[in-house]
Every structure is written in structure tokens, then in C-alpha cells.
Structure 1
């Protein structure tokens, strides 16, 4: 993704501090419409004890999430986008993209929820306007939109005034509730009084949006002077203050009115207050401030999301306006979404949906922090010290559990929606420009697995092909890496290796160039392989270095795959090399393909040809367990590839007289049964030379596997001539010299 639009903030007016930029918007968003219009219903139906548990459970989740938020916010340079920015930079572009859409939608829909709450209060206060509900809500939406469209600086100043009204309203309620204290109401409200279809979890779902304002400050991250300091301090302080307000309101509401009145009267707080007009003003102020906070936050999420160009069609919304980089295009879209929800929705229907959206966002934020901590990534060095991987994990599980307890259908739909977005973004193979912790997670898993593998006792049952293929550049002998891929795909590991002739001091750049060529070959042919290149003046020294230094722990190569000499002049060097490999206790596979015999020039034309699976059988010529066990396993691994499924494995053996035929056939059948490999046994009775028998029996085979023994020094030419005689004119032969370590019966 190209970064066409800079996310660097343009210098301008002074940015906001902790109180104005975080504490005030968080507090005003938390103490909003639910507190004034629905909290009485929560207390009336749930009872005081359960209402306290609802508040504590909700606050526990938001507190754990804030600890995670604070850890990530103090571990990186926070730019615009709030939770989207933090999650995308930790969990990667797929989760970031999915949560960007979901969190923006949650914030945009929240605008409608708060405006609907304001309009409900307005209709109760001025009944003559009750029939114009949608029109009034739409006008308020326009007003909130215009206020935010002007700029965040103006909106923050408005919020100071709203905060003062809110404090006066809460104070008025406290005085009135204390005066109306009734012990009979207190006793009656201790136990729950749920209406039909309602329970603790539905009340939790109704209340939870009242605590979701913790992201209001983080959403303003791009407009904060010191986000890494302001976000933790301001958010935690807002949580603490609002927790005291809610818990005290539980007892005051339960002591001042009967359960029926608390449940039925949406404006019960106004009726309790000493100065009802203050509550009316407070409702108007709180709902408007919450709407303003969401109207400010949602566009900034969309702006940051659009600038990352995960979906290029959204780039239009990444533009900023003025010195303060206001996201005015995104603000218009937020207004439009809120207006649609105002026309279609109601407060009780919207609240549970927003609960799910926020729960997923909080859960992923906790998950991001958990992974950052548990992977022990050296770059994870938060200055906030009160977050631990256990608190992050508890926050993740808490969010997930509450989602399903509240409404398992909506929870499932939300998770499937996130999974679908994740899959869609992943399928587009979008590469992020930022570092995320996915590689750190993979590294930590690999590290632990390697350490565990190191202390586990080895058993032949667990033998897997870890093949080092001496493939050159890959292009020149493409049959070697392709067959190496077939032999290891899904079962083992493949390394494509090349020895560059020369001194490392003189050819360092050349080595890097050859490694890049190998990487390009691996990527183009979609191989599951790793490249390895070394510089050595002598080929055998390079092979020895590769074998000794490649791999780690239990993942060192146990098999070397190489080409068979093209002509007799290379036989002695080949014999010396395989003798070196055998001394290092590695199995040897040598491929003899007649189609590859020719010049040494680079030729890409044969790559596609070698991917074509030849017709015929996979012939294993059995001469005993010494090489036979590995030959059988290699034939089985080759047959496991989808393209080779129609190539049956034949297990062949030559006997000189018919009396031995039945016994040998029985032995071959038992071999297939004990190894659990499907074979076609074939015993050939013949007194002719092995070369003649093999040439005739395997002339239509797709590939032939023949065993050999590494020659002693001085016998290299004899080995070459004998195996050439055995292979004859067969087009594809794999010579095998096993170092052991596997067992067919395991």
C-alpha cells in the first residue's frame, strides 16, 4: 500500500492536554443518556445488589481494557485513529482493518443513540413536540454535525460548559435523593423485579453502553499534546470518577423510589432531583456531549483507516482540512449514518448492538496487549507498568464471555463479521507499512517448539524429511527443488542451497544476489522452502559448511538432495562429495533425469515441464531394509501429493527361481501392511542381469527409486558406471543412500 496521504500532523494551534483532551470527553461520554434515561430501569428490575454487580462487572471490563490501552499507548508513538491505530499496529492489517470498520460503525451509531436519548428527554419535557420526534432528532443531529464540522477546538470548549451543567445536575439529584430516602424502598429494591423476558444479562446489555466512553480520549490521540501520558491518566481517572457516580446512584435510586416507578418512569431521576430543571439541562447536556464525543471520534477513526489504504475506495475520507487536519469528509459520512439510524432505530434496539461492537473492540485491544506481553517482544517496552499479560487475557476472556451471555446470536454474528472481514483483507494480500507482532507471535511459538523439541527423546516414528537440496539458482536444475517440494510438502522442511565459488570477502554482494535469486524462485514457484547460500573456494567445503551450519536444534537437515553427474568427467568429484555427506550421517538422494542432460546454461523453460506429474507408477526396487525403508517412505510422501495420487506405488523385487516367488511376494505384502503404505507387490522371476530386468519392468514408470552405497575412496568411477548401467535409458531415476533414523513399522 502506498502512502499517498501523509499521516504527519501539520503544525498548528496547541494540542489538548489530559483534562480537556481525555478526562472531559471520557467522563461526558460515560455519564450520558443511559445514566439519565435507563439507569433507573436497570436498578428497578435488577435490584440494588444485582445493579451493583452490573456496574462492577462493566467497570471491571473497561478497567482491564484501559490497562491494556494504556500499555500499548505508552509503547508506541500514538497517532490519529485511537483503538484502530493501536490494534492495527499490534495485531496487523487484517485485524486492524476489520476493527477499523466495526469501531467506526459503533461510534457512528452511538451518535444516533445519544441523539435519540436527547429527543426522548425533550419530548417528555415538552410534550407538545412529542409527535415531531424524528424531525427534532434530525435537527439535533444537524446541530451536532455543524459543531464538530467547525473543528475539535470549538467542540472541546463547548464540553467544558457541558461538564459544568452535568455536575450541577448530578448534585441536584444527590440532594433530592437524600431528602427522599425511604428504608421501605431500600428493602424492596434489594431483590430483582425482572419483567417478562428480562434478566441480569439483558440489563447488563442495556447498561454497558453507559461505560463505553473510555475510548473518547484515545479517539482524539492525534489531537493530544502528549497521548502516551494523557490517555492512561485521563481515562483511568474518568473510570474512577464515573464508577463512584454510578455506584452511589444505585443506592440513591433504590432508596428514593419503588421498583415499579424506577422501571416505568424513564425520567425518574428528574422527579427525584431537588431542581428538576437542572436534570433536564443535565440530560440535554449529557446526551449532546456524548453525541459530540462520538461525532468527533468516529471521523478520526475513519480518517486514520482511510489513510492506511486498506480499502482504496475509502481514500477519499483520509483527507484533512485546515491547520488542525480536521476529518470533515469523514464527519459528513458519520452524520449520514447517524441520520439513517435515527430514522430507523430506537434506543433499546440500538444499545445491545453497540454493546457487541464495543465488546469486540475491547476484546481485540486486550488480545493485542496480551500477545505483545506474552511473546516477550523486545520492542514491547511500555512505560505504563500496571498492565500484565494476565490482566489482558482476563479482559479478553471477559469481553468474549459477556458477549455470549448477553446475546449469543448477536455475538456469533459479530464474530463471523469480523472473521469475514479478516479473511477478505487477508485474501487481498495487503501488506502493511508498519511493523506488527504477528512475526513476534510466530517467533515465540517457534522458539518454544524448538526448545521443547530439543529435550524430547527422538524416536524413529517421528522421522520427517528435512531436505537440503543443492539446487543451484533453482532455474538451472528446476527438477531438484520441485521434487524436493513434493517430498516435503506438508510433512517436512526444504532448504534450497547453493555454493558460490570464491572468497566471502570478495563475493559478499554476489552471495546476497544469489540468495535473492533463490527467494524469487521460491516465491514464483510457490514452494514451501528456505534459501541458503554460502561462498567457498572449494565446492566440498561449501557443502560441508551448509550441512553443518544449516538448521537449528532438531530441525537440522537429515537428507541431502542433489543432481546425479551428467557425464563421467564429474564422477570422481561427485563421489567425494557424497562420501563427505555420508560421513556427516546424512541420507543422500541423487536425481538422474535424462531430460536435464545438456549444457549448464540458465534455462527457465523447463520449470513448467517439471511441474507436470508424469504418467505411470512409482517404482521402488527392493533389496532390503538398508535403503528400502527410506525408499518406501519417499515413495509414500511423493504419492501423498494431490498430483501424484493416480500414480500407484509398485514394490518390485527380482528372484532367480520360481520357488522363491511366493515367499518373496508374501514378504512384500507384509512389508506394505506393516508400514501401512498401499503398494502393488510385484516379484519378477528372471536370470537376466538386473539392468535388463529394471529397464523392461520400469520402462513406463513415472519415477524409479534405486538404492546405492556411498563408494570408498578410489571407487567413485565404479559407482558411477554401475548405477548408470542399472538406470539405463529410464527417464527419471532417484538414487537413494539411507543414513537410517526411520522405521517402516513405527
Structure 2
């Protein structure tokens, strides 16, 4: 059917609004055809560049996509859902620049319908489109949901709609794991599609997409690593190292550095292939493996190391330039040659930094040019060593190959210089910066196309390639040069070339000459100014064509400096963006589309200039070596730690590593730090420790899934298994409290008091029972509750259950809370003065909770405070949470909201009662310097195993109760003096110090006043009472039979009330042995008896043990 141009639906919406995000109802195929299509294919695709040609396979309805232009589907795609209900089909458009008209789609569908008719399929019923009054296609059902891609476009290509269980299910795709907002939630899938319509479409937030670069493993990793490994030492120090250590030990030095580099690269490859590596390279890997503490320390150290390495290489370049200027009599152009080097270095630094503004693509091309020059320089040295030298070159120490020279230079000849005594380790320290380029590839992960694949291949091949080149260049140079030479052609002709330094192989006739040069006290006019140990530019003489060698020196130094200038700012940028350290986030800002950290570039320049001022390569190299060694230590340890944790998330695709070898390499790197230069090692380690401690105590709110977290779980699990094998013993008894608080922030005083008992050394669980529908955002409630606990430094757990009743929920908590031996052994609840306002059901549930605990062999504790505990009315809920944990002050309610969140702070308080509860919470809060002054009275009247005595003793050990006196009240019996003496003896055996023991007489009958008070309390609740304010039922009234049955017991409780009011009405805390509930005693009568022990009293703890010992006086 033809559609008016203005009424045709557009397929070109880049990101249509929710209201118009409806797809077209275009065709209604036969039910048989629809079923066949559903079995075979879920979607049908048409390239948008031109109409697609649909071909029919052997199965009915299988439509294959065949682009008529031979192109790929990159031009755009239209997706037709073949599994929509028969009343509707829809076509969705993926946002692309090329469009396909609805008429073309309609034509293809009509052709396909005709083909189906010719196959004998009856009753084709393709419906016409229906348009609403606005000219838009009208759907006959709610649209299928779509899930936005990271840039806001509909991601039908990545998020194919499945037809297996639910049309909103998505097939496995990488984007689901890259962005949590893409995959539909359980609530989305469980909701009725037609009922919710557009509500099923979920929008993602503003997620930053990691834009990958275009560099492969050769240009992105291998080339940068090779050029960084070919640093300033390649032409300026290789000959000197051979002269000092000899060819044999030089080989050992190179192999040592290679082994460390290879083993560290194995560890780096393992980490880098365990998922995608984000921006920041080495910092990112360590911080996400070991946590922010190690990551922050190494991020700073590694950034500084790269910044100093810039100084090291530019210094080498400036030395060479200054030497050329001096040869041309153009230096010094300032006050001294040293200042010339500084000026050249700073100018070079500014120019190199300018190159970084063009991005990594231009820098990589420049590095390719440097590599070509360096390869030409290496070949030039090899070729030059073969060509016989002239007299001038021989006078400067280049004498060509000979067996005698090889044997002499193979042995070490360490000599002192201005930096002090040289040794194997000092030479190794000079060489080691040459192998620090192995992390070059990891430092520019944001510019790599495939970091996980490129880093292992590029790094390992670069190490072997450069190690071979160092050995070749070093041995070639050492085989043709003397250690010492005067530089005079006349001395060469006279045979006195090495007379400046005694050499038995080259001056046999001069063996009587004193060996005076090369010593700390050598004369100023000593002629030993040439030779490999004195003349650092000896390779310029060995090379066949000197300009190529000079170009090689410039390329080696500038390429490495350029790399470090790129690496250091980007590493530091990633560190700043994590906002672990304050005040440095400004350096994380990026500019241009390439996100260049210009501010970090400026900071690196300042650091580089500072280290350019000493103008001493050996001094700078020691600092660089230890910074990189510290980085290597943590990289290797990170691999060991991640592998040792056996976490399911540790799945590196690179398998050629060993966790124990990584640990050994980490230890070796740490030892080498101090062997090289213990002073700089102490500085580097000290800075790292300070940074680690800062981040540790700051405890940034990040969750990176580190190996430390995995090890914590592993350690806890192993400890739980070990604990399970340990037999219970009274000496190891610890109170493990399940306190029914609801949300912890709602009853803080109750939480604080329970924490005073466990005080971080025992298990504390805050139980929350919600009656009614389960809160769907349970994880949010738990997360916010733990935040509240952590802010108050409370070592407690939060456990939540949803149940049909409070009793059922408490029963579930008692049975399921804890794990193994870490299960609660005490149930604590609050006891409220308004219990008589409860319903019969609430009262029965309260007493049944006590019985459930006793049945589970748990002690029970009820805390009473006249102020109460609930501060719900002043808690600043973002959305009100119905707190249904029963504490005795309100009825149970049902919460149906799915958007519950947990409060963080308090609202302004106007209610005096709530103000009193808040003050009580502040009084009970642990960890404060303030203390409660007063007395703790313990009424240990009946032996329950010692729990009544142990709990106040534990309270008395910690703040805020540690300043209180402890008084023990006991039954006097027939002989009060003997009873007191026996109790003092028992306390001494228990090693519990009491300030006073007071016997009391419980045998006397209660006075008339308190008896009448209790009669008034229960008068209106009795079965035959004059006032009937409750329904007559087994739960709602106190039966006369139980009044008679428990008359004697009630009389003693009234007598105990008299004694409590007499002795403990002014105490800070009163602890009383709780009477147990009886099976034939009504809940209301039992609550009345508890009320008699707490009414008109200060804070009172009613407690009862399990009749099993929790105290012992045996060793």
C-alpha cells in the first residue's frame, strides 16, 4: 500500500525518544510460517546500502542475508523480528548514515509472501499497516525492549534479542560484561511485557567508553620497547662497562638483566592477558591486582622513574652535543661546559615535549625513523671493527682484533673514578636502566589495538633482540679497543701508547714504569685520556662512518627520552583520575580528542629539569634503577599474589609463567635494589611505604576486585575450615551476639551496647526481620548498613530476612545466621516499657523468640532503657523504609516498596523523647574518649553457667564502661558472711575483679507497696479482673490458674524488684539473671514479670545463660 510521504515513518532516528521508540507493524505471516521461522532464525537482516536479495533455503521461512552490492553489513542494518506475535511484526533500524526506505522493505516482504504462496501455503494474511491520527505507525502491542549501547544508540547488532525463554533476553556479548547497564535485570525479565510497555526499556548512565588505539604489537610494543631498551647506555657506556667488568662479567651482567627482564615480562604478560588493560598501563595492572595501596605507591614511583629517565637520556644526548661543540671550538658558549650541557638538555626537553602534542601516531613514526638510524649505527660499528684502523684511531685505543687483547679485556679491571670505587654491582647498576624499557608497551595501553595480545609478544621479542645486540656491540668494541691510551700518535710510534697506564701485554719493555694513571691521586697532566675506560665516545672511533654513530647516539637517547615523556604523564594521568591522592586530580584532565594530559606533561618537564641539574649520568642512573626495580618487585609480586589466591577471576591466557618464579624474581629485585645503592634504595622504599600507609589509612572507596580481596576470602575460608575442626572449650568461649536491631541506624544505642560486649573480638550480627514482601533492593540496604557500621568503626555484620511474621523471621535468623563455629550463641533484643500496648500476636511472637533461642542452646539478653531505642522518626531516609523488626513499640507492618534505601544522617530533633534516645546512643557509643561514670550492679542470683557475670566483666574492660565500679549481689542464704566469702573466692579463681560483693535476703516476703503495684499492673489483664481492655482468649488475658501456679515465683520477683529499687536505682547499669519463660505461662503474664524487674529502673540488662559453663578457673 502506498503511504503519503509526510506520513511514512522515518528509519533515520539516531536516538528516538522513549515515547516514539516504536517499531513498525508490517507483516502478519501465516502461523505455520511464523513457527518455522521461529525455529530457524530469530532475526532477518537487510543491508541498508541497497535492497537485499532474499533467498529461500530448504526450510520454510529461513531468510538469508545476501547483500547485492557485495559489501559487508557495516553500511547499516535493518533488523526484522520474525518472532513477534502474529498480530504484529516490527522493523528496527540501527543508527547508520545510509538509509533504506520503507517502500524497499515492503517490496521485499511482498516478494517473499508471493514465494510462500507459490509453495502451497494457504491463507497468507499480510496485514496492512495501521496509522494513528498523527500519521505514525500504530503498534497493536507494547514494543519489544531495546537496550542502549554505550554511546546511546540502539545496540541491536551487539545485543541480539533471543527467542529462547523471553524476547528480552540478550545473547552473550562482550558489551554485557563491559557495561553493567546493558544487560536486562531480573526485574526486567520477570515483569510482564505487555503490562509495562516502555517501562521495560532500561537506560544506561553516562558511561565512559574506553577508546582503543590503532597500534599493533610491532609498532605499539616491540618498537617502543626496543628503543627504550636501547637507551643512553648503548653507545656511551657499553665500552666503559666492558673495560671495567671485562667481557666475561659483562656477559654475566647482560644475562642477569635479561633474566630479570624476561621473568618480569612473564609476570607482566600474565597480568595483561587476564582481561583488558585500561589506561595507565603498569599502574593500572598493579592497582587492579594488588589494590589502591600498592597501585598508588607504584603509580607515583613509576611516574617519577620515567620522568628521571627522561633526564638520564637527554643528559647523554647533551653530553655528546657538547663534545661536538667543543671539538668545533664552540663550547663553552656559557660560563662553563657544565652549564652548556644544562642549557642543551633543557632546550631538547622542551622540543621533545612539543612532539608529544601531535599524538602517539606521529611519535610512533618518529620512533620508526630512530630505529632505522640505530640499526644502521650498529651495523656501522660491526663493519668498522673489521676495517683496520689508522694511526690516529690506534693512538686513541682502537687497535683492531688480537688474541692478546681479547684475553686481556676478558678479565675484569675495576678502577676508581670520581663516583668512587667501582665493582660488579656498580657496573650492573649503570647497565640496569638499559633493561627498564620492558614496560614501555604497558605504559601506552590506551593507544594499543589489542593490549592483551600485543604486550606479551612485543615485550618478549624486544628483550631477546636487544640483549643480543648489547652483547654483540659490547664484545665487538671490547675486542678491538684498549682500556687505556694516551691518544698521541708519537707515543704509538714510540711504543709508549700505554705507558700512561701499566699494561703487561702492550708495554713489556715498560714494565718498570709506575702505574700512576687512573688512581685517585694521579697527576693532573696524566696522558691517559683515551681508551675504552677513559674515553666514553670510543664507539665514534670504532665506527666506520662517524656521523652515523653520532646519529645513532642521538636516536638512542632521544627515542628513549621521547618514550618516557609519553609514558610518565599518561601513567600519572590515570593515577590522578582515580582520585586516590588529594589535590592532584587537576593533572588528570585531558585535552583534544586524544585525551592528552598537557598538565601532566608540564609536571614531568619540571621533574626532568630538576634531575638535569646534577649533570651526572651515574648519579641519575642509580635512582632510575631503584625506581624501576621497585616497580618490577611489585609487578612480580602482583602476579604471585593473584595466582596464589586461586580466584576464579584469575584466568590469564598467557600460561608461560610460574607463581613461585614470580615471587623469587620479586625478592631478587628487592635485594638488588640495596646491592646497587642502599641509600637510594632506602629513599625509594621509604617513599613507597609512606604512600602505601597514606592510602591504607585513607581507605579510598574503590572496588577493583584485587587479589588482596581474593586472598582475604581464601584466608577466611581456610580459617573457617580450621576452626570447624577445633573442639569447643570453655576457655575459648566468646560471646557471639545476634542483636535484633532492624536497620542498625534505627536503634544505634542497642548496636553500641552489643558492640561493647563483643568489641571486635567476638561475632556481632545485627538482625533485621521485614514482614511482608521481600525488599528487592536488599543489596542496597546491606551496602548502606555496612557503610553506617564502618563509619562508626563497628565490627559487625548485617543480616536480613523477609518472613510472613516476626516469629518466623527470628526463627530463620536464629537458625541461619553465622557459619560453622561462627554462629551466634546469644540472642539480644530490646525491652520496651510500652509492651502492654502490643497486640496479642506481637506479645506471643516476642516470647516465642526467647524460647526459640533457648531451644537453639543460645543465651538470651534483654536490654531495657527508659528512654527507648527507636529513632526512626528522625532518621533522614531518602525513601522511607518500613522497619518491621519488633522491638516492642509498634505493630508489625508490611513493606512493599522496591526502592528502599538506608538513612545516613539525622534530621533536626524536636521530640524530647527522641532527643533522650539520641543522647542514650551517644552515651553508649564505643570508641569515644568519654566514659560513663557510675556503678555496674550484677545480680548474679542463680547460676546460669556464668554468663550473667561474664558479660558485665567484658563491658567493664572497654570504654565507655571501663571507669565504672563493679558490684556483685548474691543470695545471702542462711549465712551471709559465708556466702560472701565463697563468692570472693570464686571470683578470685575466675580472675574477675569486683569492687564489692553484697549478699541480699530474698527469703523475706515482698512488701505491701510493691505487691499492690504488681496487682494494679496485671489487674486489668486478669481473666476475672474488673476491667476488660483485652479480648478474652488464651493469649489476651492472664488466667487465674497460672496466677495461682506461679504465685510463689511471682512473689520472689516482686521481692527482687524491692531490692533492685533499694540498691540499684542509681546505678549506671544493672545486670540481672533473667527468669525463664515457662511452657504453661502466658506471654502477657511473662511480660508483666519482666516489667516488674525493669520498671522505674535505669538501664537494665536481663540475661540468662544456657546452664553450660562459660567461665572456668582451670589453667
Query: Do the two structures share a fold, i.e. TM-score over 0.5?
Result: yes
Which residue in 2 is equivalent to 1:544?
811
Is 1:347 equivalent to 2:617 in the alignment? yes
> CA 1:627/1:239 → structure 2, altered by over 3 Å: closer, same or farther?
same
- TM-score by structure 1 length? 0.90
2:731 corresponds, among 448, 461, 466, to 461
Structure 2 CA distance for aligned equivalents of residues 377 and 594 of structure 1? 51
Tell me if 1:697 matches 2:1060: no
Is 1:440 matched up with 2:710?
A: yes
* Pairing 1:674–2:989 present: yes
Q: 1:733 aligns with which of 1100, 1108, 1111?
A: 1100
Instruction: Report the aligned-residue RMSD.
Output: 3.2
CA contact (8 A) 1:375 1:440 kept: yes
Is 2:535 the counterpart of 1:265? Answer: yes
Change beyond 3 A, Cα 1:204–1:675: farther
Return the alpha-carbon distance in structure 1 between the equivalents of residues 685 and 676 of structure 2. Answer: 14
Q: Select the residue among 377, 392, 407 that pairs with 1:169.
A: 377
Shift in CA distance, 119/523, structure 1 to aligned 2, threshold 3 Å:
closer
Separation (CA, whole Å) in 1 of partners of 2:246 and 2:688: 35
Query: Distance between the aligned counterparts of 1:329 and 1:680, measured in 2?
Result: 67
Match among 92, 96, 100 for residue 295 of structure 2: 96
The alignment partner of 2:734 has SS state of coil
Instruction: Pick from 205, 211, 227 the counterpart of residue 435 of structure 2.
Output: 211
2-structure distance, mates of 1:87, 1:135: 37
Contact 1:32 1:287 (C-alpha < 8 Å) held by counterparts:
yes
What is the SS of the residue equivalent to 2:1110? coil
Instruction: Output aligned runs, 1:594-633, within 5 Å.
Output: 594-596=866-868, 599-600=889-890, 605=915, 606-613=917-924, 614-623=932-941, 625-628=943-946, 630-633=947-950
Q: Please give the per-residue CA displacement for 1:424-481, whole angstroms capped at 9, x wherever unaligned.
A: 3455553337554443232222222222222233333222222110123345544322
* 1:707-722 alignment, distance < 5 Å: 707-708=1073-1074, 710-715=1076-1081, 720=1087, 722=1089
**Higher alpha-carbon deviation: 309-318 or 202-211:** 309-318
Seen in structure 2, the aligned counterparts of structure 1 residues 313 and 728 have a Cα distance that, compared at 3 Å, is closer
Q: Indicate how the Cα distance of structure 1 residues 459 and 183 shifts in structure 2: closer, same or farther if over 3 A, else same.
A: farther
Give 5+ residue unaligned stretches, structure 1. Answer: none
Alignment of 1:310-459 (within 5 A): 310-311=580-581, 313-432=583-702, 435-459=705-729
What is the deviation of 1:531?
Answer: 1.6
CA shift in 2, pair 1:498/1:247, >3 Å: same
Q: Distance in 1 between matches of 2:210 and 2:748?
A: 51
Relative to structure 1, is the Cα distance of residues 186 and 681 closer, same or farther in structure 2, using a 3 angstrom cutoff? Answer: farther
Q: Tell me the CA shift for residue 117 of structure 1.
A: 0.8
Work out whether residues 29 and 293 of structure 1, in 8 Å CA contact, stay in contact via their aligned partners in 2. yes
Query: Deviations for 1:582-640, whole angstroms, at most 9, x for unmatched residues?
Result: 11111111112233299549986413423315421223233465342x23332232123
Cα distance in 2 for residues equivalent to 1:620 and 1:181: 98
Distance in 2 (alpha carbons) for counterparts of 1:471 and 1:345: 67
1:527 aligned residue: 794
Tell me the residue number matched to 1:136: 344
Q: How far is the alpha carbon of 1:342 from its aligned partner?
A: 1.8
Choose the corresponding residue for 2:270, options 71, 93, 110. 71
Pairwise CA distance, 1:209: 0.8
Q: Is the 8 A contact 2:945 2:1111 kept in 1?
A: no
Distance 1:341 1:170 in 2: 29
Q: Give the Cα separation in 2 of the matches to 1:53 and 1:673.
A: 70
2:1031 maps to what in 1? none
Give deviations 1:282-322, integer Å, cap 9, x for gaps.
21221111111111212222333333344564444434444
Cα distance in 1, alignment partners of residues 374 and 325 from structure 2: 20
Contact 1:467 1:558 in 2 (8 A): yes
- Corresponding residue SS for 1:553: coil
What corresponds to 1:112 in structure 2?
311
Q: 1:301 to 1:6 in 2, by over 3 A?
A: farther
Query: 1:706 touches 1:733 (CA, 8 Å); kept in 2?
Result: yes
**Structure with larger RCO (C-alpha < 8 A, sep 6+):** 1
Match of 2:356 in 1: 148
Q: Deviations over 1:191-226 (max 9, x none)?
A: 452535433333322221111011222222111122
Asked whether the 8 Å contact 1:467–1:559 carries over to 2, the reply is yes
Classify 1:519/1:192 alpha carbon distance in 2 versus 1 (closer, same or farther; 3 Å).
Answer: same
Deviations 1:27-77 (A, max 9, x none): 111111123222333333334444333323322222222112112211222
- 1:141 is displaced (CA, Å) by 1.8
- How far off is 1:111 after superposition? 0.9
The answer for the alignment partner of 1:199 in structure 2 is 423
Q: What SS class does the counterpart of residue 373 from structure 1 fall into?
A: helix
Secondary structure of the residue aligned to 2:1067 is coil
Residue pair 1:50, 1:192 contacting (<8 A) in 2 also: no
Contact 1:650–1:680 (CA<8 Å) still a contact in 2?
A: yes
CA–CA distance in structure 2, aligned partners of residues 685 and 611 of structure 1: 34
More divergent stretch after superposition (681-690 vs 150-159): 681-690
Secondary structure of 2:728 counterpart: coil
Residue 958 of structure 2: aligned partner = 641
Structure 2 spans left out of the alignment, 5+ residues: 1-204, 387-399, 485-530, 870-887, 892-910, 925-931, 1005-1054
Q: Which whole-Å CA distance do the structure 2 matches of 1:640 and 1:53 have between them?
A: 62
Provide the C-alpha distance between the structure 1 equivalents of 2:777 and 2:656, rounded to a whole number of angstroms. 50
CA distance in 1, matches of 2:619, 2:482: 26
Distance in 2 separating the partners of 1:297 and 1:367: 22
Kept in 2: contact 1:38–1:266 (CA 8 A): yes
Cα distance, 1:140 vs structure 2: 2.0
Match of 2:282 among 74, 77, 83: 83
Contact between 2:211 and 2:446, CA under 8 Å: does it hold in 1? no
CA, structure 1 residues 641+41, in 2 after alignment: closer, same or farther (shift >3 Å)? Answer: farther
CA shift for structure 1 position 726: 4.7
State how far apart, in whole Å, the 1-side matches of 2:657 and 2:309 are: 29
CA contact (8 A) 1:476 1:600 kept: no
Query: Secondary structure of the residue that 1:594 maps to in structure 2?
Result: coil
For residue 51 of structure 1, give the secondary structure of its aligned residue in structure 2.
Answer: helix
Q: Distance in 1 between matches of 2:784 and 2:435?
A: 55
Q: Which has the larger radius of gyration?
A: 2
Q: 1:340 Cα shift? A: 3.0
Q: How does 1:432-511 map to 2 (within 5 A)?
A: 432=702, 435-474=705-744, 477-502=747-772, 506-509=773-776
Contact 1:305–1:318 (Cα < 8 Å) also in 2:
yes
Residue 255 and residue 671 in structure 1: after superposition, are their counterparts in 2 closer, same or farther (change >3 A)?
farther
Q: Is the 8 A contact 2:1071 2:1102 kept in 1?
A: yes
In the TM superposition, 1:242-261 aligns within 5 A as 242-258=466-482, 261=531
Query: How many residue pairs end up in the alignment?
Result: 736
Residues 226 and 462, structure 2, Cα contact 8 Å, conserved in 1: yes
Deviation at 1:393, TM superposition (A): 1.8
Residues 1:346 and 1:636: Cα distance change in structure 2 (over 3 Å): farther
The answer on whether the counterparts of 2:737 and 2:826 sit within 8 Å (CA) in structure 1 is: yes
1:222 matches 2:409: no
Bigger share in helix: 1
| 153-162 or 432-441, larger mean C-alpha shift | 432-441
Q: Report how far residue 116 of structure 1 moved.
A: 0.4
Distance 2:414 2:791 in 1: 67
Please say which of residues 114-123 and 343-352 is displaced more in the overlay: 343-352
Q: Using the alignment, how far apart are the partners of 1:83 and 1:517 within structure 2? A: 33
Q: Distance in 1 between matches of 2:936 and 2:643?
A: 50
Q: Distance in 2 between matches of 1:220 and 1:311?
A: 22
The question of whether the paired residues in 1 share the 8 Å contact of 2:1056 and 2:1093 is answered with yes
